[in-house]
A and B are shown apart, each in its own frame.
Chain A
């Protein structure tokens, strides 16, 4: 298995532009998680899905952020409009199911820089 796939790996954009990050989870995994990592705040959970349904989006910073999972093999995280404080590494992770006894498999991350 190729593992969790994220694209792009790096994104540089200007303030105000729309940014779309993409994730393909491991086949057969039912849960998908989006995280953001910064030096100041560490690794923060933004939103997670189970069976393509958003379960908890309480970590989404504000309305500029949205996430979708149209099918079991694809998810997007969109920021519109982007701001410099959104600069971070965004990780997607998947696991077999809901339940904290499941290990999470992380993708390589997307490094976002907003100028």
Chain B
């Protein structure tokens, strides 16, 4: 069956460290993978998109990798700050129709 898996346990790290979140998928062949941030009581906010032929994408302190062989994406936040504390969702397209399938999300807590 098709599955998208993100760490269900919260990730707690110290300010200044690099946070690494994982998104694994099975029985999908996505052309694109997106990452969103969601704060409590708010809708998800788009962060980054990576294409299947891109290995890595960066935006300021954020970095996303996409390994279609491993069927995995890693999301990194360098020099993490307490303001980075939120839930991070990965989403992939099932057929390049705009129909995104979301993972359950991983909650990141950055402690000062």
* Chain A residues in the interface with B (C-beta under 8 A): 4, 31, 33, 42-45, 48, 50, 55-56, 91, 93, 95, 97-109
- Known contacts: A43-B89, A100-B30, A100-B32. The answer to whether A106 contacts B45 by CB under 8 A is yes
C-alpha spacing A50/B97, complex, angstroms: 10
- Known contacts: A42-B102, A108-B42. The answer to whether A103 contacts B89 by CB under 8 A is no
Chain B residues with a Cβ closer than 8 Å to the other chain, count: 25
For the complex, is B101 an interface residue (Cβ under 8 Å from A)? Answer: yes
Q: Which of B41, B46, B105 contacts A42 (CB 8 A)?
A: B105
C-alpha spacing A17/B36, complex, angstroms: 34
* Contact code string B83-106 (vs A, CB < 8 Å = 1, else 0): 000000100110011111111110
Contact B42 A101, beta carbon cutoff 8 Å? no
Chain B residues whose CB sits within 8 angstroms of the CB of A91 once the complex forms:
43-44
Nearest-CB residue, chain A, relative to B47: A103
Nearest-CB residue, chain A, relative to B34: A103
What are 25 A-B contacts defined by CB distance under 8 Å? Answer: A4-B43, A42-B102, A42-B104, A43-B44, A43-B89, A43-B102, A44-B102, A48-B99, A55-B97, A56-B99, A91-B44, A97-B98, A98-B98, A99-B96, A99-B97, A100-B32, A100-B96, A100-B98, A101-B31, A101-B51, A103-B34, A106-B43, A106-B45, A108-B42, A109-B41
- Known contacts: A101-B32, A103-B34, A103-B49. The answer to whether A45 contacts B101 by CB under 8 A is yes
C-alpha spacing A103/B45, complex, angstroms: 9
- Known contacts: A106-B44, A107-B43, A109-B43. The answer to whether A101 contacts B49 by CB under 8 A is yes
Q: Which of B30, B45, B98 contacts A102 (CB 8 A)?
A: B98
Contact B98 A50, beta carbon cutoff 8 Å? yes
C-alpha spacing A108/B11, complex, angstroms: 25
